[in-house]
């Protein structure tokens, strides 16, 4: 035997011995204790309704729970799909049920439907995340935690009689690993019986060929195995919803009345409403809750924890303790932090260097500019100086010419002086004779 096998044998727990009791002890009441505890605690159940606007989601919910929930008609002009959860406290006998109905408002109304599934997936993930965060808390209060994880998605198929739309296939494919999907054909009274039969076969064929996993009613519990197996063959259920009461015979029944007759909601010859109610509420509600926890939530939790770096064993199948994982993760985080710090420091140094270079370049450019301006200024100055000198020369030449002209004038004047004196004398005598006449 290999050493590891020997170790495994010595570490294995011894088989417990079976003993018989001498008399009644009382632990056979454990199931009853469990029931009593659960009843006191109450239950929560969350239904997600996905289907195009006006397909009959609210009417079906009202019909299923035989009450009137608050509803708001959705417009056909929502920019994107929006999730609207509404929670109600219901009571039947002594059982309290916190029921949340989540409506995918505006589904199928956008021109571009490529991302229609995303808000729905995000909503489901957000509920898983809330639960995971509660679980990871040091002080957890899961006992009175309001569990909002979606337990079932009722997917409303339009009764076209043709085939599933690509939007239906894409959405269901995106949701099937996150939630239990029960497909239903809505407004089944608008499609004939033979068409409905073919439509059901076509839908199931398309789901299978596209690898869409819908919820299968469990057949492992003997008590319900038979009914569940029969019901699995009836999927997708073709339902009719109505809260209107119509008199049929001497009984008031919920039905839809038409000029040509009455479609009774709870008549199994008219539609599958009763089958849906049986499967969803009366037989498999607990299995839907359990599947949500053990399958869908477990998958989300595992992926999330692996993403965070947690794992159960290393490559050699050695179990990893939480402490070891934490330490390894911490080291990894610190070295990553150091690497980032170094990267940032290097980036900073490079940036400083780049800025320095840029500044130097700017300085050089400025200096060149300054030198150029200086040269222009000197050139201008030199030109001005030259102009000034020319002007001065011109001025002095002018002055010289002026002096010469004056001198020549003066010379001329002195040469003509005797002649003028005679003339002046004659003029003066003439004037004096005039004055002697005019002045009294």
Which residues would be at the binding site for Mg ion (CB under 5 A)? 57-58, 71
Task: Name the minimum Å distance from CB 193 to ligand GTP.
Answer: 15
Rg of the chain in Å (alpha carbons) = 51
For residue 118, the surrounding DSSP H or E stretch is helix 118-136
Among 163, 190, 257, 311, binds ligand GTP (CB under 6 A): 190
78-113: b (≥16 Cβ within 10 Å) or e? eeebebeeeeeeeeeeeeebbbbbbbbbbbbbbeeb
Task: Name the minimum Å distance from CB 48 to Mg ion.
Answer: 13
Residue whose token pair is 């005797």: 418
Task: Name the minimum Å distance from CB 189 to Mg ion.
Answer: 18
DSSP state of 12: S
Backbone angles phi, psi at 183, to 5 degrees: -80, 140
Task: Name the minimum Å distance from CB 292 to ligand GTP.
Answer: 24
| CA nearest neighbour of 297 among 99, 126, 104 | 126
Contacts of 123 (CB under 8 A, 6+ apart): 48, 83, 102, 150
CA distance 50 to 113: 14
User: Judged by CB, which is closer to ligand GTP: 120, or 224?
Assistant: 120
Is the distance from CB of 239 to CB of 279 less than 8 angstroms? no
User: Judged by CB, which is closer to ligand GTP: 245, or 390?
Assistant: 245
Task: Name the minimum Å distance from CB 188 to ligand GTP.
Answer: 7
Task: Name the minimum Å distance from CB 86 to Mg ion.
Answer: 10
CA distance 58 to 55: 9
User: Judged by CB, which is closer to ligand GTP: 257, or 311?
Assistant: 257
Task: Name the minimum Å distance from CB 73 to Mg ion.
Answer: 6
Number of residues that bind ligand GTP (CB under 6 A): 15
Site string for ligand GTP, 4-33 (x = CB under 6 A): ------------------------------
Give residues 225-284 in contact with ligand GTP (rule: CB under 6 A): 240-241, 256
CA distance 389 to 387: 5
Q: Does 151 bind ligand GTP (CB under 6 A)?
A: no
Applying CB under 6 A, which part among 183-191, 321-329, 410-418, 424-432 lies near ligand GTP?
A: 183-191
- The residues pairing with 398 across neighbouring beta strands, listed in sequence order, are none
- Which two structure tokens, joined as six digits, stand for 167? 């939007």
Q: Could you give the strand order of the β-sheet that contains 43-50, starting from the edge strand earlier in sequence?
A: 82-92, 95-105, 43-50, 152-157, 181-185, 237-238
Q: Does 189 bind ligand GTP (CB under 6 A)?
A: yes
User: Judged by CB, which is closer to ligand GTP: 215, or 273?
Assistant: 273
The one of ligand GTP, Mg ion, none whose footprint includes residue 187, by CB under 5 to 8 A per kind, is: ligand GTP
Give residues 34-53 in contact with ligand GTP (rule: CB under 6 A): 53
Q: Can you point out the beta strands (E) in 118-270? A: 152-157, 181-185, 237-238, 245-248, 251-258, 261-264
User: Judged by CB, which is closer to Mg ion: 212, or 240?
Assistant: 240
CA distance 327 to 339: 18
Among 149, 178, 187, 296, binds ligand GTP (CB under 6 A): 187
Task: Name the minimum Å distance from CB 117 to Mg ion.
Answer: 19
User: Judged by CB, which is closer to ligand GTP: 111, or 138?
Assistant: 111
Applying CB under 6 A, which part among 7-15, 187-195, 222-230, 307-315 lies near ligand GTP?
A: 187-195
- Which two structure tokens, joined as six digits, stand for 28? 């056979």
User: Judged by CB, which is closer to Mg ion: 41, or 66?
Assistant: 66
Task: Name the minimum Å distance from CB 192 to ligand GTP.
Answer: 13
Site string for ligand GTP, 54-83 (x = CB under 6 A): xxxxxx-------------xx---------
- Which two structure tokens, joined as six digits, stand for 432? 């004096």
CA distance 365 to 358: 11
Residue whose token pair is 């359990």: 290
CA distance 226 to 394: 130
Residues of this chain that interact with ligand GTP (CB under 6 A) are 53-59, 73-74, 187, 189-190, 240-241, 256
């Amino acid at each position: 035997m290999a050493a590891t096998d020997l170790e495994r044998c010595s570490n294995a727990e011894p088989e417990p011995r079976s003993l018989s009791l001498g008399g009644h002890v009382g632990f056979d009441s454990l199931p009853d204790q469990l029931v009593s505890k659960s009843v006191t605690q109450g239950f929560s159940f969350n239904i997600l309704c996905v289907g195009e606007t006006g397909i009959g989601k609210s009417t079906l919910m009202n019909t299923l729970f035989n009450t009137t929930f608050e509803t708001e008609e959705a417009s056909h002009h929502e920019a994107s799909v929006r999730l609207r959860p509404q929670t109600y406290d219901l009571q039947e006998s002594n059982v309290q049920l916190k029921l949340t109905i989540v409506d995918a408002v505006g589904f199928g109304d956008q021109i571009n439907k490529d991302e229609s599934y995303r808000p729905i997936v995000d909503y489901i993930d957000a509920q898983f995340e809330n639960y995971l965060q509660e679980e990871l808390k040091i002080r957890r209060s899961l006992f009175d935690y309001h569990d909002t994880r979606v337990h079932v998605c009722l997917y409303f198929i339009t009764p076209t009689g043709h085939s599933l739309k690509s939007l239906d296939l894409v959405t269901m494919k995106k949701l099937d690993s996150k939630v239990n999907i029960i497909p239903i054909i809505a407004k089944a009274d608008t499609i004939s019986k033979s068409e409905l039969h073919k439509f059901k076969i076509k839908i199931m064929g398309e789901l299978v060929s596209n690898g869409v996993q819908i919820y299968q009613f469990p057949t492992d519990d003997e008590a319900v195995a038979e009914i569940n197996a029969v019901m699995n063959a009836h999927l997708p259920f073709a339902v009719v919803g109505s809260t209107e009461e119509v008199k049929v015979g001497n009984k008031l029944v919920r039905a839809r009345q038409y000029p040509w007759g009455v479609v009774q909601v709870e008549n199994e010859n008219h539609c599958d409403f009763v089958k849906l109610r049986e499967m969803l509420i009366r037989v498999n509600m607990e299995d839907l809750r359990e599947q949500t926890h053990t399958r869908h939530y477990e998958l989300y939790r595992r992926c999330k924890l692996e993403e965070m770096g947690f794992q159960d064993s290393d490559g050699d199948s050695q179990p990893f303790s939480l402490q070891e994982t934490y330490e390894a993760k911490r080291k990894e985080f610190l070295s990553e932090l150091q690497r980032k710090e170094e990267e940032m420091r290097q980036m900073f140094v490079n940036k400083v260097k780049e800025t320095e270079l840029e500044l130097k370049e700017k300085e050089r450019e400025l200096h060149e500019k300054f030198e150029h301006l200086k040269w222009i200024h000197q050139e201008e100055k030199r030109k001005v100086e030259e102009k000034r000198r020319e002007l001065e020369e011109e001025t002095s030449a002018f002055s010289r010419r002026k002096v010469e002209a004056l001198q020549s004038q003066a010379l001329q004047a002195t040469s003509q002086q005797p002649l003028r004196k005679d003339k002046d004398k004659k003029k003066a005598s003439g004037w004096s004779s005039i004055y002697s006449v005019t002045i009294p």
